[in-house]
Amino acid sequence: DTGVSQDPRHKITKRGQNVTFRCDPISEHNRLYWYRQTLGQGPEFLTYFQNEAQLEKSRLLSDRFSAERPKGSFSTLEIQRTEQGDSAMYLCASSFINTGELFFGEGSRLTVL
Amino acid sequence: GNSVTQMEGPVTLSEEAFLTINCTYTATGYPSLFWYVQYPGEGLQLLLKATKADDKGSNKGFEATYRKETTSFHLEKGSVQVSDSAVYFCALSLNDYKLSFGAGTTVTVRA
């Protein structure tokens, strides 16, 4: 399977714990995106990378959130000191530069108790 | 700011019925417009797109026309199948290709 893969698919954690999600994009793609989706809503943009450079971060991304793409390949999204409001589906997508066709993974669902 | 408003669901149809999902947008520039679809148990995938006014995007029997005068990009299909059951998202992007999505419309097609 050469699509976008995300790990883990499901994560249940207690409030205050740290969690990390990993995304492996399609290998030829330069851009990698993180989105967050809550029930009944469309995905909301969090951040994106072009190669290893993080080019934009949404105001939704508080200081507790950090994303990296160290070698321009896979990416991690870490949430520190999780809160119940962080419960959501975290989506990763990748694309070539200058195309609106994003390829999405199936998402990582976070539940904070 | 930039935003997308799409028809609320859920929508339930019989096979071979006509489907339309309304989508309107607000944007500060001249956006590209997209429809993404999410089938059960799968990730979102691009269904069709249009990059300028009066363009028509089409794929899998679905069509949508970029109407600048009404700021709309309504999705239509003339004869739906059970396999079209999914959640449909309208989205826009400006030059940086950061997508802004609507809330999604759940469509269920009954045999």
Map tokens 């059960």 to a residue. Answer: B40
Residues near A39 by beta carbon (within 8 Å), at least 6 away in sequence = none
SS3 state at A84: helix
> What stretches of chain A adopt beta strand conformation (E)?
5-7, 10-13, 19-24, 31-37, 44-50, 53-57, 65-68, 75-79, 88-95, 103-104, 108-112
Question: For residue B83, what pLDDT is reported?
Answer: 96
Residue-wise over B76-89: b if at least 16 C-beta within 10 A, else e? ebeebeeebbbbbb
A91 contacts B43? CB cut-off 8 A: yes
Compute the average pLDDT of residues A35-50: 93
Six-digit token string for B110: 């009954």
* Spans of chain B, pLDDT less than 50: none
Question: For residue A101, what pLDDT is reported?
Answer: 86
Residues near A98 by beta carbon (within 8 Å), at least 6 away in sequence = B97
Q: Which residue is closest to A48 within chain B, CA to CA?
A: B98
B103 contacts A93? CB cut-off 8 A: no
* Sheet with B56-59: strands ordered across: B19-21, B75-77, B62-65, B56-59
- The β-bridge partners of A37 are A89
Min distance A92 CA to chain B CA atoms (Å): 10
Question: For residue B98, what pLDDT is reported?
Answer: 84
Mean pLDDT of chain A: 93
Question: For residue B67, what pLDDT is reported?
Answer: 97
Question: For residue B7, what pLDDT is reported?
Answer: 85
Evaluate if residue A41 carries a pLDDT over 60: yes
Q: Which residue is closest to B47 within chain A, CA to CA?
A: A101
Evaluate if residue A76 carries a pLDDT over 70: yes
Of A42, A98, A103, the CB nearest to B97: A98
Question: For residue B94, what pLDDT is reported?
Answer: 85
**Best interface-test mutation with A: which of B66, B98, B100, B105 has the largest number of A CBs within 10 A?**
B98
Evaluate if residue A1 carries a pLDDT over 60: no
Map tokens 């300028």 to a residue. Answer: B52
A100 contacts B97? CB cut-off 8 A: yes
Compute the average pLDDT of residues A59-76: 92
Per-residue DSSP letter, A61:
S
